[in-house]
Amino acid sequence: MNTPMFTDPISRRKFLGEASCLSVGSSAVISTMLNLRMAGSLSAASSPASGDYKALVCVFLSGGSDSFNMLAPVDTAGYGQYLAAREGIALPAEDLVSLNTTLPDGRELGLQKEMAELHGLFDDGRAAFVANVGTLVEPTSISGINSGTAKLPLGLYSHSDQRLHWQSGLPDDRASLSGWGGRMADLIDDLNGISNVSMNVSLSGINLFQSGAETSVLARSASAVSELVNWNSGSFLPRRAAMETMLDAEYNNALERAFAGIKKNSISAAGEFKAALGGQPPLATGFDSSNDLSMQLKAVAETIAARGPLCKRRQTFFVEMGGWDHHSSLESHPNMLGNLSQAVGEFQQAMVELDLEDEVTLFSASDFGRTLSSNGGGSDHAWGGNQFVVGGAVQGGQVFGTYPELALASSLDTGRGRLIPTTAVDEYFADLALWMGVSPSDLSLVLPNLSRFHDVVSGGAPLGMMGS
């Protein structure tokens, strides 16, 4: 059985004097892995008003999404450049629907026609795109790469490495045990009330993004919350009593003590979580049961609906959609984009139903972009790509960052249309972390690499894509 992982409440909670769902610690204890200190600045800058709630939902497109066939130029000159670079894998002009927004250089972008829901959200000002974003150790140029002086992300173009870097926010480190979402949770989890249930919930197993020094990940399936088999059945009660005696025992060995503590917390948290979900009325919003991502996002919406009983005012969620490694053919790509758009549209409608449209922000991430040029059938691993952000707090109807020139051998092309990102993932994620309540002075603990690109203390949010 896969036992869910939950935050151990003892080290951080034992000094809190109240057990109320509205109780908030006067200061947050944050990760010693990053020379953590008492975060008084967080409490001063970010303590929420009563009833305040915010959540981030990461939609990870595993395999490396070909995002230049998701968002492409539709003006005559821009589409001609796109067509020349992409050759046999370029979309027909009629498959791209204009977003009716013009870039500073005069180009007009269109969205793949299967993504009607995302297009509608963009038109309504509830979705935005971030152009050519990717992992960077430092600002990088072709000349720096050619001279060998540029510091590059470890394992550039590698699935495992780039997936790790997107989730850790540490592109020059393969050994990180924490992700930027987990480090953020370490800082702001004390804005939540007391509960055994972690603020980090994953529908796709334990992941690095949500792993922190003090906060862990609750991993569940889209259909159920994992519990010990027969734990609550009458015939199992004698064995349950024996197991509880073993778990309550005082162990001299530190590992045995830790294991018993984690197991006890997991059992109680599973019950708490299941009871909270069971106490909520069913969502009226329809989710397509044949769409796996829809089912994951439905489970996220149901968990958000139970935020009150779970004593949560800050949460993160991780869902995953695989199959984006289109080396041999992009034939299935439009249909996958359609499924992605449908699921995101359903989820956003559920947030409207819950009256939380402004309090929940969904964002996409992926291993990397794809080559502009074809390998004869599909596209290969590359670097920078396009992502999207959805929610009522998003400054929607805009494209943030710099949409690149789609020409082979451009000033960003490292070969075959592998484009150097013009926006670092650190800048993308900084806007989201600040919106969640991390103070500018504490943001370096979440995103240590950010200072190489932007100073949030003096300059504010790097992209400015989020409202209040």
Residue by residue, DSSP assigns 149-163 as -S---TTTT-HHHHH
Considering the domain boundaries, does residue 257 fall inside one?
A: no
What is the per-residue pLDDT for 167?
98
SS3 content of the chain, % helix, strand, coil (to 5): 35, 15, 50
- The CATH number of the domain where 385 resides is what? 3.40.720
Task: Quickly state the pLDDT bin for 265 (edges 50, 70, 90).
Answer: low
**pLDDT range class, residue 468, cuts 50, 70, 90:** confident
Least confident of 249-253, 270-274, 421-425, 456-460: 249-253
Burial class (CB in 10 A: 0-12, 13-18, 19+), 188: buried
In the chain, the number of structural domains is 1
pLDDT digits 0-9 by tens, 157-209: 999 999 999 999 999 999 999 999 999 999 999 999 999 899 999 999 999 99
Share of the chain above pLDDT 90, in %: 76
Mean pLDDT of the chain: 87
pLDDT at 34: 41
Q: Answer yes or no: is 236 within a domain.
A: no
More confident position, 417 or 25: 417
Question: For position 255, what pLDDT does the model report?
Answer: 62
Task: Note whether residue 23 is domain-resident.
Answer: yes
Residue 240 pLDDT greater than 80, yes or no: no
Q: Which domain holds residue 95?
A: 10-227+285-459
Rg of the chain (C-alpha set):
23
Give me the sign of the Cα torsion angle 57, 62, 67, 69. Answer: negative
Residue 376 domain-assigned? yes
pLDDT band at 50 (very low <50, low <70, confident <90, very high): low
Give the span between the Cα atoms of 202 and 214, in whole angstroms. Answer: 17
Cα torsion through 58, 60, 61, 66, rounded to 10: 70
Classify residue 149: in a domain, yes or no: yes
Which pLDDT belongs to residue 260?
47
Does a structural domain hold residue 234?
no
